[in-house]
Structure 1
């Protein structure tokens, strides 16, 4: 269908005709062709600029998409008309110029290829005929018209179609532009009469193609840098509906489907709104990128949000509003295309209906679909909405809701109102779904997709499509929440017991798993409202529990879990969990083992649902260590004061059992030189490793460097024992950075006689462990050479340093804060800054310049944000004076801001 011509197009066309006529009248033959080429190039450029200006002034998607198509149509037809005269070579009589693909459909985006078929009616075009095609294509490239082209005969088209569904689809949308109408008519007739793809085969192939395409995107549209063309729920899904309908019944577009009664008027309006929004967004994306770009990258999202009219508010950013609309649009498209494909399948591929499997008086399973026997049941008995999902939960995974039942359900979502939510039958049904366990993830996903979950829990409805514009949270809030629930349920599945054995074991022992599921559903439910989402979510979940009749003790636990759902990850990654006082404080917050068990499971499921690349063995080890230490503290009574001397004696006794008997005397003398804090910081196996390495070394071995993959904990451990010279920590962090290693933990001790005993826990550039013995030995050698002042050799072959493209796009302000009361005898300093290579080294440099000593560091990265914690003392070994803290803050912010500017 040829796009409608507008007045601005007519004026442009008139100018092109006049300029072309002037060329023929005023140029010699050898000068006419370059002049015509320039005229065409100018016409194309001016037309594109006018369309870009129309986009900036708010033109809708159809105006932009059809405008690009009109521009290409007229230009191509004029070139076809005049170029042969300039070449003095007529076009072959049986040659047709045919638009195919999206261009054939009448849809073209600013930088999309113009797909053309040069169609020959004859069976064997001559070399001269093919030379004409090559000349024409070269001319099009010269004027900057990006074309994708093929040259085939009618019979070749049929042969190619038989083996390639993509070609079959492209020819389905073929549109004549110029040349031989007879050749084009032959093609159309042949495709109608001799098409190798039956309606049924074509349908199955397109659905299989769609499934494979969705799988490439992880079967979710909710990645925060989605593909607006090919992602689930995006433009390609709309096109699948049109392709299938056109092949089967000749329906040209969505309007035709509406007229035929395949979709309702409201569904048609919904799909058109979605398509027009996606068209305008895709056009803007092409303009922003300056090329054909289908990924809605962070690089362009801010600009597009502004150009599409969204504005920042106190609650949310403009870009978050744009993306929320985008994800909600995809959700609607996904559901409607699922319904339509199911409806079309029943029409295209008739099946012999078997006997239904009756579930109750209202529902049955027939032909793999869960169906309402009476489609009016949801209006008559709204309670049946939840009954439907109770039945779905108990069915095998391949059973889905029938299209007509789905449509009836959507039509009655408004019946899930306050009265519905307060009905004890509905409350009992919803809780039964949560308690049933098996099939829970699948049924919650369906309830969310169909709008039922957001209607039954209105605060959940507000987070559907809600994104956070950062690199830490890679899914929308609702999808993240459902991934969390999936992770919790995996703890109960024997097939996944080897994945996280401790979590699987604990999950099998908790008394009420549904409480954990409720906490998971509500943990982020207040995101995007402003304020403390943990506190607001706790208030929401408390009301939910009370309304659903949960006992007071269970309500208190769930409310506490939502309020505290961040505290375990924060404590493990930002506090010194070897310090008995830290463990005692955390144990008092837990109160009992039940709270600790539930919180560990929620924390692990949350981290693993936030970002596929976020979880690593180091984070897991920190959580296991915190869990076990807290469990031990709860068993012995957290309120009792810690007997430091007894703890040290006990630990030293354990260490001696790990050392050779002849080393006992040397070990005891070595330990006399160490602080009490040293023994709190390390477990017996680590102390034994340190001790044996040091007592067996000689003065010629110093500085001593040892590296190993920790036999029990995650990460590669590096021990440095050396004279405590000024700037040692700075030197070491710089050397580790140059080796491409990520420091996740640093602990520093100084003996009274002036030796530094420092340990670093590191991961490689991919946040993995270093286990190759050869690399460990080379690592030791390189660090030792550096400490001895030897020049660094070239970077090792195993060095990996990856910096994500998106990191520089986010404005993470540098923040420095201090706490002089939290931890004796240190000043606790927290630094939030953009995550950049060498960040730890630059912090160490700044602190060294101020005469401040670092006694420990905890390093955590959250997407583009680094959140690092340091334990500091002054040059006398005391806490920092409050008076110097403003200067430290200023110096650090200045140094890190300058470094970020250099790295940007």
Structure 2
């Protein structure tokens, strides 16, 4: 059926015909994108015009007008119909009756309707008071009735907008900023709002409004394609969900991708991010131009006065060879020759970042069009300018994005293309891969005083995740890429080796510090062997902190920082020639001994809570040392199932376990009252999931009940787990349990990776108890929704498990967690 046939059916059959024609149009597989949106708008136009003609006795002095998105002809499957019934102030009763005959058929079909009834004067008055109304009227489009009435309103509204632009455009910019702060940046969100987030469809509407003011215009290249791409995604989202939603939720992304013929949800997100990046960059350039024009209008009278007095107005200030500042932007000098100067893009970018100024769009486009490629290896100046750009702090981000918008980054670093706009489906990460790399460089620029080779730190920060665009372990792939890139940009062989090692081992310190026993000499030796030199260790420490800080708030804390610093101190000693000694069992502290004696005498558990505080590095914070958590000391007469009982009680009280050590203490004969026995000492560091810590007395009471079997921990945790909201259409990846070979000489290290959930440690502890192994210590790490826990286990006599037994234990534990 052709578009004409669809419209004819709608006109012939009234509302039911329109509904059938609309449904057929939306289900036609061969018709999508702009053609379908235009056909849906045309179909709706014809139907509403028919309603208007049938309902209006006299069309003089009254008209039906589409505004907002409908006025632009952007009808997605579930879009609202934005309508204005415009009249000249005639018979109010007749106008009200006409409105009813128009609105009710729309409501009867279940279509969302945003409607108003106004005279032209009322419409202009409302627009003057409400910026959003004014924006909607800028797209007013005549549907039916008195065309002169509609044309007069359009002319007046546009004239008002242009006359009021110096006041209204700053209001519009403030509205965009407020919305971006509330909704976030579309190009980085895992569940973005296609309309409201920065770089979304609202920003495109704002750019159209700026263009309508005649004050400034947006860069047009790529903008129409980006807008069309987001509209296509929204269409597919409406069809997939059957709802008028702009939120691209995780559970709908695969279906939306399939509806658009894309490979998978990652391909969909990357397409969305690329479109959002174009729109965001266009917005930045446009609002900068608006500010420049408004400033020039404000200073023009003073400028005339200066010129009439014979004093020349300052125009350009030199920043670097071929680079000057003009009117708050970095532009090319008149004598610059981009076609003869391949280093110019990096020199201009470094100068802009150092000055904290934006790069002119015209300058970037001119360099992208005619600059020659850099030779291989790069000249020393190019490498130095790249390091300067990376070390300039926060301004680096905007300058880098300006280069990337015109394709200059991918020309300088071809491997960048694989990570550009690449999503990271991990709640810990707040950025795409490429933006995370730049954020890491920004964080590293704050730590350059801590290392002897800041240039290597900054380049390693830029490249540490470059392997995420390739299959397999991104650290292994990244090492190969970093070696090639480092040689290409002109580092010598020794520096190339250091950079590739930093990329290969950029997760080594944080993973070892949070998942391994630092008192075990094997742990420290393995890190020392991987790092090799003090200089590399120094760089790796700074890179680790920069990477974690750039990942997101959940990836770094004072506690993690203290563990990494402790590991670095121990590894540094080994690299200096002080081999770690085999640790002797530490004597119990006075407090531990007191708790153990009391536990043995009473026959029940004894607890003590103590806050742990320590400044991480440098001077103590102004508010005092940062909390590292709370130390929970527990002494329990040696008996079965202590670990799962304690882990379960802590989970019931919503306490997060960070580390745990377990040891057996045999008491002197003189306090054993003639009997034999021992006490388990558990030293745990915990933190409240939210709220304040429970009282030790309450923890002890529940632990007593857990040990004697009167507290149903599994039932309590199951009830809480059932109350957790479930994410529709999403299944957590299965758990994985492995044995870490040669991780310790004193125990077998079992590493568990699973979806974090209430009572996970309780389930693991129960499984280990059933397996008949003893847990010497455990090291808990939670990254977003993922738990990565390491358990140091031994046989009943304190020896590591035989290889076959360790493998069987790992398999049994994985099966338990899968169940």
Q: TM-score range by the shorter chain?
A: 0.7 to 0.9
Q: Please, which runs of 5 or more residues in structure 2 have no aligned partner?
A: 304-312, 615-626, 667-676
Counterpart CA distance in 2 for 1:243 and 1:437 is 34
- The answer for the alignment partner of 1:861 in structure 2 is 782
C-alpha change, 1:12 and 1:534, in structure 2 (3 Å) is: same
Counterpart CA distance in 1 for 2:11 and 2:186 is 49
Counterpart CA distance in 2 for 1:182 and 1:102 is 22
1:844 aligns with one of 738, 758, 765: 765
Counterpart CA distance in 2 for 1:475 and 1:420 is 31
CA deviation after TM superposition for structure 1 residue 602, in Å: 0.7
Counterpart CA distance in 2 for 1:819 and 1:245 is 61
CA deviation after TM superposition for structure 1 residue 147, in Å: 0.7
Counterpart CA distance in 2 for 1:697 and 1:883 is 37
1:222 aligns with one of 188, 191, 196: 188
**1:385-534 maps to which residues of 2 (within 5 A)?**
385-395=345-355, 397=356, 399-412=357-370, 415-417=371-373, 419=375, 422-434=378-390, 440=396, 443-491=399-447, 507-534=448-475
Q: 1:98 touches 1:176 (CA, 8 Å); kept in 2?
A: yes
- The answer for the alignment partner of 1:605 in structure 2 is 546
- The answer for the alignment partner of 1:736 in structure 2 is 650
Counterpart CA distance in 2 for 1:293 and 1:480 is 29
CA deviation after TM superposition for structure 1 residue 283, in Å: 0.9
- The answer for the alignment partner of 2:2 in structure 1 is 8
1:319 aligns with one of 250, 260, 265: 265
- The answer for the alignment partner of 1:294 in structure 2 is 246
CA deviation after TM superposition for structure 1 residue 156, in Å: 1.9
CA deviation after TM superposition for structure 1 residue 483, in Å: 1.0
**1:174-189 maps to which residues of 2 (within 5 A)?**
174-189=140-155
- Greater displacement, 571-580 / 695-704: 695-704
Counterpart CA distance in 1 for 2:162 and 2:345 is 44
CA deviation after TM superposition for structure 1 residue 518, in Å: 0.7
CA deviation after TM superposition for structure 1 residue 484, in Å: 0.7
Counterpart CA distance in 2 for 1:234 and 1:852 is 55
- The answer for the alignment partner of 2:483 in structure 1 is 542
Q: 1:371 touches 1:402 (CA, 8 Å); kept in 2?
A: yes
> What TM-score does the superposition give when structure 1 sets the normalisation length?
0.78
Counterpart CA distance in 1 for 2:42 and 2:248 is 26
What is the CA deviation profile of residues 758-786 of structure 1, one whole-angstrom value per residue up to 9, with x for unaligned ones?
A: 233223325xxx765x6455444443444
What is the CA deviation profile of residues 660-685 of structure 1, one whole-angstrom value per residue up to 9, with x for unaligned ones?
A: xxxxxxxxxxx5xxxxxxxxxxxxxx
Q: Secondary structure at the match of 1:526?
A: helix
Counterpart CA distance in 2 for 1:159 and 1:272 is 32
Q: Secondary structure at the match of 2:223?
A: helix
C-alpha change, 1:94 and 1:782, in structure 2 (3 Å) is: farther
C-alpha change, 1:740 and 1:16, in structure 2 (3 Å) is: same
- The answer for the alignment partner of 2:278 in structure 1 is 332
Q: Does 1:190 align with 2:114?
A: no
Counterpart CA distance in 2 for 1:862 and 1:248 is 50
- The answer for the alignment partner of 2:636 in structure 1 is 722
1:102 aligns with one of 69, 77, 85: 69
C-alpha change, 1:849 and 1:71, in structure 2 (3 Å) is: farther
Q: 1:546 touches 1:555 (CA, 8 Å); kept in 2?
A: yes
C-alpha change, 1:873 and 1:41, in structure 2 (3 Å) is: farther
- Greater displacement, 704-713 / 692-701: 692-701
1:285 aligns with one of 213, 216, 237: 237
C-alpha change, 1:309 and 1:182, in structure 2 (3 Å) is: closer
Counterpart CA distance in 1 for 2:86 and 2:532 is 78
Q: Secondary structure at the match of 2:452?
A: coil
Counterpart CA distance in 2 for 1:765 and 1:138 is 52
1:870 aligns with one of 791, 802, 806: 791
Counterpart CA distance in 1 for 2:17 and 2:808 is 61
Q: Secondary structure at the match of 1:816?
A: strand
RMSD (CA atoms): 3.6
Q: 1:832 touches 1:865 (CA, 8 Å); kept in 2?
A: yes
Counterpart CA distance in 1 for 2:638 and 2:36 is 68
What is the CA deviation profile of residues 676-711 of structure 1, one whole-angstrom value per residue up to 9, with x for unaligned ones?
A: xxxxxxxxxxx4543343345672372212233324
Counterpart CA distance in 1 for 2:390 and 2:159 is 54
Counterpart CA distance in 2 for 1:416 and 1:527 is 29
Q: Does 1:755 align with 2:679?
A: yes
Q: Secondary structure at the match of 1:417?
A: coil
1:19 aligns with one of 13, 22, 28: 13
- The answer for the alignment partner of 2:132 in structure 1 is 166
- The answer for the alignment partner of 1:150 in structure 2 is 116
- The answer for the alignment partner of 2:689 in structure 1 is 765
Q: Does 1:892 align with 2:813?
A: yes
Counterpart CA distance in 1 for 2:85 and 2:721 is 49
Q: 1:274 touches 1:329 (CA, 8 Å); kept in 2?
A: yes
Counterpart CA distance in 2 for 1:528 and 1:11 is 49
CA deviation after TM superposition for structure 1 residue 515, in Å: 1.2
